Structure formats: C-alpha cells, structure tokens
Chain A
Amino acid sequence: MLVTFPHMGNAYIAMKSVLEDLGVEVLVPPPCTKRTLELGTKHAPELACLPLKLNIGNYIEALEMGAEVIVMAGGCGPCRFGYYAEVQREILQDLGCNFKMVVLERPQGNARDFVKKIAMITGGKNILQVLASIKRATRVAVLMDELESLCWQVRPREKREGTVSRLMREFHSQAVKTRGSGKLAILIGEYKNRISRVETEEKKEVLRIGIVGEIYTVIEPFVNVSIAEKLGDLGAEVDKSITVSYWVINHLIKEALHMHDKRELREASYPYLRSFVGGHGQESVANTVLYKRRGYDGVIHLLPFTCMPEIVARSVLPEVSHRYGIPVMTLVLDEMTGEAGYMTRLEAFVDLIRRKKEMKELYEERILSGD
C-alpha cells in the first residue's frame, strides 16, 4: 500500500517521518511545478482557491507514479479547507482514478472513527506507537523550521551570493531519499552546521521583513515564487509568522487538547478585528502588530485569490499599517502570477522601506546633534 499526501512547503519532511516510522510505504509527490498547477487548474473549479488546485495536481502526479492511498487533513470551517477533501475526492473519482482517500480531522464527538482511520493507514499499529511517532515527527518539524529560519538569517549576509540556496537545494534532494525520523534529524543537523559555517559579512545592514497571511501561500515556495529566497537576495532578513511546526503544535495538538493560548493574538488584533474569521485571518492582523512591536521594518501579506478569511484581514490591514506606521504590502497569488511582476513589486517594497529607515536614522541623528 503506497501512501501519498499533498505538498505544503517542507511539511513533507514531517509527514514522511511519521509514516515511515510506522512502517508505511510513502510516495512523496514530485515537487510542485508548472505541470502540477496546470493539472490542478484544469480539473478543479475555476474559482476555488489555489491550494486546492495544487493539491489536485499533486494527487494526479502521485497516482501516476503508483500511489494508492491519499492522506489529507480535514477541518470544520468556516475556511474552505475543511471541505477540500470532499471536493477533491469527487474530482478524482470523476476522472476515473483508482485510489482510497483517508481524511484525518479532529474527531467531532466520535474518536473511534479517528482511531480506525489511523489503523487503516498504518496496518493496525498500536496507538501508543502512533503517538510516539507523531512526537518524533513534531521534533523533526521543529528542527526543519529552525534550519529554514537559519537560512533566512544567513542569506542576506552571505559573502558569495547563492551559497545558502544551493545548499538547500542539495538538502531537499537528499531529504526525499532519506527514510525515518532519526536519519532525517541527522541530515537536518548536518545541513544546519554547513549553513552556519557559510561566510558572512557581519556588519552588513539588513532590513527585517515579516511575512503574514494564509498558511499555504506563506509556506509553499512554488506558490509564493520563493519569496523568502528573493527577499534574502535583496538583502532583507525574513521571518514567517506561520511555519509547519507552529501549525502542527498549535493547531493540531494544542487545539485538540484545548491548550492553545490565543490571548496575545486576540489582544493584538482586537482594535481592528474582534473575532475569529477562520483560517489565519486574525493571526495575520495580530502578527502585523506584533512584528511592529518587535521592531520589524515592513510586513508582506500573502493570500490566494478569493481566500475568504484573508480578505477580511486585508480590508483591515491598511488601518493597522496607518496607525502603527509600518509598511504593509499585500500580494494576491493565483495561477496567473508572473514572476517578473512579482520581482518588481518586491524590489520596490524593499527600496521603499530601506529609504524610510534611512530617513528615520538621518532625522534622529539631526535631533541628537541639535541641528
């Protein structure tokens, strides 16, 4: 039984680790490419959001390679993600694909169903073994995100441009071939070492930009045209408000146990957005405020076209930007997004905040010298 799952940035590393530790044969779909997107847009509803389309592309490519079971997450609204699996199943069935879909979602009252589904994928493994491997995979996800954030810090400062990106490409091609959480953790550690040894210019002035928005567009480099890499090359250090490990720990584990502490988020977003709006809409607003408090120079807000929660966030963000004096740029992503247009906007944004920072420093200098 060959199991596959849709891509979302580096999430495949955690998924692979949990399934392989349980002895499941895993087929990681090929990385998202133009073909993935074309397959998705061809078969998915026209106005569906981008992640749904790419998921469909991932499934089709994985099924072509012989996958038999698709594992997908579910939800209970109000974001459309909760109904993805239903729509995707119908689409694939109508295409005549032969597959089985297992939807993992937080059980609503009936926990037995959930356990049964897990048993089906793992071939009847003990629930304790399952929990242990989830714990190990969470650890791998945390390590992976540490590696990524190290890249974001090193990239704008590296002496020879492109070193970090080359190392990361190498890393991903090896990660696909590595099996099990133990070996993945070692591989991640090895590359963390290599990247921290990359030669850097410590004195270089870098800008700090926070990225907020819808989780898939923030995490998946194919959709956001590798925004973290591009900003790094432009000399800006990036931080993403949502990462895979954050999502796994806070949304999957803590939420299920009612331990997710949202007070800080609620407090930060309250003057602008007073309610949960599904997805990560409230987080986008709150994190923009938090980035300002942490001294960031600008924020980029990403969302797929027609994303419902982020449209609400988008309509209040100008007010946040205005009141806190932090530049915010919203980028709407869809299948038409052209890389060149993107690049121009990013360059312009970076220039703008760099200029703003310089002006501010100049102004402060003047005050100090008494001019």
Chain B
Amino acid sequence: MKPRVGIPRALLYYNYFPMWEAFFKELGAEVVLSDLTNKKILDDGVNCSVDDACLPIKVFHGHIINLKDRVDYLFVPRLISVERNEYICPKFCGLPDMVLNSVRELPTVIDCTINLRNSYSSLRKAVLDVGRLFTSDYRRIYMAYRKAAQNLKFFEELMENGATPLEAMRGCHSAKGEYRYPIGLIGHPYNIYDNYVSMRIIDKLRDRGINVITQDMICSTELDRIARGFSKPMFWSFGKRIMAASRYLIDERQARGIIYLVAFGCGLDALVGDLVERRIRKRGIPFCLLTIDEHTGEAGIDTRLEAFVDMLEWGGAKECL
C-alpha cells in the first residue's frame, strides 16, 4: 500500500504545495489534503492552540486535527528562512513544536528544517532527509526534487500572470473578464487566498469588475528591485513582498486603491501595516485595512468592502479624504 502523506491546506500551502505534491508523488507516496477551511476546522484550531496565537496558526492547528487520523505521515516542515538574510516569522520556526505539544495522537510528523538564511545547503539536506523516508535511491530523490522544482516554477509563472494560487493549482489562467480598473490586495498569502478566512474577498471584488492584483501577481524581480530601496532591509520575506508590492502598485500599476488584509494577532502585519498605511495616506490614495479574526462576521466585511469600492467609484479619492 502506498504511504499516505498529509499536507494541511493552510499557511504555506498557497505558496509551495505544487512543489511538495510533485515531490511526494514522484517518490510513490499518496498525497492527502485536509478539507477546505470550514467552521469546524476553525473551531478545533481555536480550541487546541494557545489563545493569543494569530488566526492563521489557529487555522493550521485545525487542519492538522482534520488530517491526523487519515494519514501515515504529516508534513509540517520547519521553515526558518526561504531567502538569504531573511526569515518568515518566529512562529514558523517553532511550528512543528507548537503542533507536537498542542495536538495529541499524531502520526509521524515530517519536520525537516529549511533554513536558507546563510546557505542553500540545508535545502539539499531537507530534501534528502524527507526522501529517505520513502526510498533509499538517491537518484530517484534527486529526480523527484527536479520535477518538484519545475512544478513550482510553472506555478509561480501562472501566478505572476494574474492567477490566484487556487486557479494556478488547477492549471488554468486567471478568469479573464472585462475589468474596469485595478486595485491592490495585499497581505499574507494564507489570509488572502483562503476562501473561508478571507470570505472570498477576491471573488467579491472581481464580481464588481475590479482587477485584483496581489503581491504574488507581481514579478519577483520587480519586488526585489523596490525592496532594495528600503531604508533598512526588511528581514521578513512576506513583509518585504507586501511592502514592496504596495509601492509598486501605486507607482507603476496605477492601482486606484489598496486593501490590506491582516489577521488579528499577526506581529508582522502590525508593523508592516503601519509603515504601508503611512506611505499610502501621504500619497492620497484610498487605503482600507481589514482585520480578520475568528469572530469576524461576513456582513461586516461586505459592508466595508462595498463602502470602499463605492468611494473609489464616486469621483476618486480626493473628495472623500
């Protein structure tokens, strides 16, 4: 029987899933996904994690509970850093420990460490460590990794062409509708693309004929170019992308407004959000900060979105500010 590897549909699922899916499949494992986020997953997560953790971490715990009885392995990598001199977030450094100490009766947890802060060699080690669980053939592991890396590249290209991760995973390009004008939607990928957490914010905006551009739909080299202009290099990879995207969207894509979706309790968003907001407000561009947590009611978010879009459409920003 094929070994079943469980991948929770939370956190970096939206950034790296196509890569690990290909990797595990090439090694002869079956990939099992948790269900899409729903009320039960959220409630389970809230109940078993510490109360002041941020929303995405609680959601992640919920997905682990949803998945743990159906699989032989749980894939919870320890992602310390994915780029030189940068980190993701302290909670990602301790994610496997948080899960192991809060959820009982877990299957084997694959918690390889990926730390590219100082060198790229840890990726090689992580890939080999994970691969060895399934085969002793190094060549096969290497080929699986190559396939995985190709998949990731293809996936990222689709996103840079305007597809959301969920669309890109289905292999389709973005729904090319007749959009009237662009606005920027920025925030952590696991907040904006999780349809339950974000309450389908992208679909709602697209339904109103708005071209939604997220930071993942912008070419990475452009973002890096802008990030080099920061007064101090930003050491959080996501924070850097968010901040660079907000500048790029205003300066080079003429976005009419920016929506920043933050999760309650997110440490990065608290600081990055403030820096982004100050800059955008000085430019006189409409800005909307939407905070989501486990209690957020959909009606409240809808009202704020509608008000924001109406404001954009009734004669521009100046009159409303």
Contact = CB atoms under 8 A, between A and B. Distances in A.
A95 to B, nearest CB: 11
Contacts of B89: 78, 308
A47 B264 contact: yes
B90 A87 contact: no
Nearest to B274: A45
Interface of B: 49-50, 52-54, 78, 80, 85-91, 93-94, 96-98, 101-102, 113, 231-232, 234-236, 264-271, 273-275, 278
Nearest to A78: B87
8 closest A-B pairs by beta carbon, nearest first, are A77-B235, A78-B87, A312-B94, A47-B270, A45-B274, A278-B90, A308-B90, A308-B267
Interface in A72-86: 74, 76-80, 82-83, 85-86
Given A48-B270, A86-B232, 8 more contacts: A76-B85, A76-B235, A80-B267, A87-B271, A277-B90, A305-B52, A312-B93, A315-B50
B101 A79 contact: no
Contacts of A279: 90
A6 B95 CA distance: 32
Given A273-B97, A312-B97, A45 B91 contact: no
Interface residues of A, number: 46
A189 B271 CA distance: 42
B101 A311 contact: no
Contacts of B266: 47
Contacts of A312: 90-91, 93-94, 97-98
Nearest to A269: B97
Contacts of A77: 86-87, 235-236
Interface string A321-361: 00000000000100000000000000000000000000000
A369 interface: no
A311 B234 CA distance: 22
A49 B90 CA distance: 14
8 contacts: A77-B86, A272-B101, A306-B265, A308-B89, A308-B267, A311-B91, A312-B90, A316-B97
B267 A49 contact: yes
B306 to A, nearest CB: 24
Contact of A48 (B91, B102, B274): B274
A277 B273 contact: no
A329 B62 CA distance: 26
A274 interface: yes
Nearest to B263: A47
